[in-house]
Amino acid sequence: MNEKQLIECVPNFSEGRDMSIIKQITDEIESVDGVKLLDVDPGKATNRTVVTFVGEPEPVIQAAFLAIKKASEIIDMSKHSGEHPRMGATDVCPLIPISNITMDEVVEYAHKLGKMAGTALEIPFFMYESAATKPEWKNLATIRAGEYEALPQKLDNSDWKPDYGPAKFNAQAGATAIGARDFLIAYNVNLNTKSVRRANSIAFDIREKGRIKREGNAVNGKILNDKNGNPLRQAGSCKGVKAIGWYIDEYEQAQISMNITDIKKTSLQKAFEEVRKSANKNGLRVTGSELVGLVPLQVMLDVGKYFLKKQRKSLGVSEREIIHIAIKSLGLDELGPFDPDKKIIEYQLRNEIKTPLIDMTLPDFANETASESMAPGGGSISAYVGALGVALGTMVANISGNRRVWDDRWEEFSEWAEQGQVIKDQLLALVDEDTKAFNGIIEAVRMPKGTDEEKKMRQQAMQNATKYAIEVPFKVMEVSAASFDLIRYMTKKGNRNSITDGGVGALCVRAAIHGAFMNVKVNSMDLDDKKFVKDILKKGEKIVLNADKFEIEIRKAVTEAIG
């Protein structure tokens, strides 16, 4: 089964104060089947709204076209003003590869959108970044130079013939840049000053292109040029970062406004730290920061782990705790609440995946298990018991790493705890997956069987579902067994006061493996592929044997320790 191609679209509309206008635009986006609206982020001072949506390529470019069209009808650029550079009702409309699609393919879709919009709408369209048709148009700043006010003169110049649409000034809609680019993080750092000049000084320190070199006085000194007469520049500390300083009246403070165009070269935490260093050098202080639009999960995890390391704290805590550390460390909640479920792209997409069992409270889960419903059954319970066992081993690792007497070993225990978190999360996912596998068998049984063709299709569906119902509990066995080394090490080398927690963890893991193997064996009885059954039962018996030896070893160690 082929994975879906997904692209993200992040159009910026030149309206951030009248949300009824933005609602009309987002309604157009949501009218397209197969598109999910992820985020709407308005800014009053910038008078600009960043909208984020995702889907397969064709629905996304259709939604983008409808949004551009609607914006051109209800936003009047001749009356627009705001802090952010802009040139059109839909100022920019970038397409971004998310999964199973190359940048070259995204470029093709960007041009398809440009051609569609250019043909139907009386708006000039310029292609930028990877979709640029001229090297100098790769940089959005070059296209947008002079902003909306410069468009009439630009469009009279043959060098500025747009890629699509007429070379004619559209007073109401302006012009739009359509692009294909990698994920860009729009990030602002807040300062304890109202001075734009001082904020710009910091921006010059950190942005990639830095500042112009001068002789003597860094502000008023003579500009130094190269042999061709071009100004020499002192590069900033952050590669792949564009930055300016501005004052936001709404917040009554200046900010460093950044676009991080290459997160591999400059992480979010590095951008924050470099601004902080420059601010301190200039007698200023960073008070917090804000993310505009959405951010990938890994970016936030990297931030959280960076600050946990600085605190010499274990990285093997839950994903939510790492995100919490990231939010607090960057001060992302200074200007307003920061909701990870709304701001992290994977969390938005994850909300589409139903996990009814794991989302339950403990009493509800127990009550559902005890009800007359056949699911959740032994397979799901085995996965959950395994997750609890691994969680106990992970707990011992975190407790051990936080002991003052073992301060020099915190990284060692942190690595063990990280491993435990990965195993635990895999087992939690298998709780719902096992019930889905069981439900797949029920659905196959209920298929029609009135004709020979229907009987054949039903039989094949039952075999496929049965095989999957074997594979899932076997996965529970394999993943549970991956915790042996963690629990063994924590029982023998971890905090002695928590040795019984390691022991209970071992009992849970053994129970999970035995329980899951029962499900493997019972479902194997109905599978026609006897070679597959023979192989998986042989592997399962080996895992069970190792689990028994492991449990005896751990129980012995615990008994000797506690008497």
CA distance from start to end of the chain: 56
The CATH 1.20.120.680 domain(s) of the chain lie at 362-562
pLDDT tens digits along 492-528: 999 999 999 999 999 999 999 999 999 999 999 999 9
CB 232: neighbour CB atoms within 10 A?
Answer: 11
Q: For 211, left (φ over 0), alpha (ψ -120 to 50), or beta?
A: beta
Average pLDDT of the residues in 254-283? 95
Residue linked to tokens 């930028």: 128
Cα(255)–Cα(196) distance, rounded to whole angstroms? 8
Are 394 and 421 within 8 A, CB to CB? yes
pLDDT tens digits along 288-307: 999 988 888 899 999 999 99
Hey, is 211 helix, strand or coil? Answer: strand
Of 24-33, 229-238, 269-278, 450-459, least confident by mean pLDDT is 229-238
Hey, is 37 helix, strand or coil? Answer: strand
Domain range 183-261, CATH architecture: 2-Layer Sandwich (3.30)
Write the single-letter amino acid at 101: I
Residue linked to tokens 């000194």: 221
Backbone torsions φ then ψ of 223, nearest 5 degrees: -70, 135
**In the beta sheet, which residues pair with residue 53?**
9, 37
Q: 231 or 365, which is more confident?
A: 365
As given in the structure block, the two tokens for residue 552 are 């005896």
The CATH 3.30.990.10 domain(s) of the chain lie at 6-180
Query: Quick one: 184 exposed, middle or buried, by C-beta within 10 A (0-12, 13-18, 19+)?
Result: buried
pLDDT tens digits along 531-560: 999 999 999 999 999 999 999 999 999 999
Tell me which fold the domain 6-180 belongs to: Formiminotransferase-cyclodeaminase; Chain B, domain 1 (3.30.990)
Give the global pTM. 0.76
Cα(329)–Cα(319) distance, rounded to whole angstroms? 15
The CATH 3.30.70.670 domain(s) of the chain lie at 183-261
Backbone torsions φ then ψ of 374, nearest 5 degrees: -80, -10
- Between strands 125-129 and 176-180, the pairing is parallel
Cα(58)–Cα(36) distance, rounded to whole angstroms? 13
pLDDT, residue 3, reads: 67
pLDDT tens digits along 323-379: 999 999 999 999 999 999 989 888 887 766 678 888 899 999 999 999 998 888 999
Confidence of residue 1 (pLDDT cuts 50, 70, 90): very low
Report whether CATH 1.20.120.680 matches the domain 362-562.
yes
Reply yes or no on whether the pLDDT at 158 is more than 60: yes
- The DSSP line for 178-210 is EEE-S--EEEEEEES---HHHHHHHHHHHSTT-
Query: Which of 91, 205, 434, 501 is flagged as catalytic?
Result: 434
Cα(417)–Cα(410) distance, rounded to whole angstroms? 10
Cα(5)–Cα(352) distance, rounded to whole angstroms? 16
Query: Which of 41, 80, 84, 501 is flagged as catalytic?
Result: 84
Residue 434: active-site member: yes
Cα(481)–Cα(484) distance, rounded to whole angstroms? 6
Cα(188)–Cα(246) distance, rounded to whole angstroms? 10
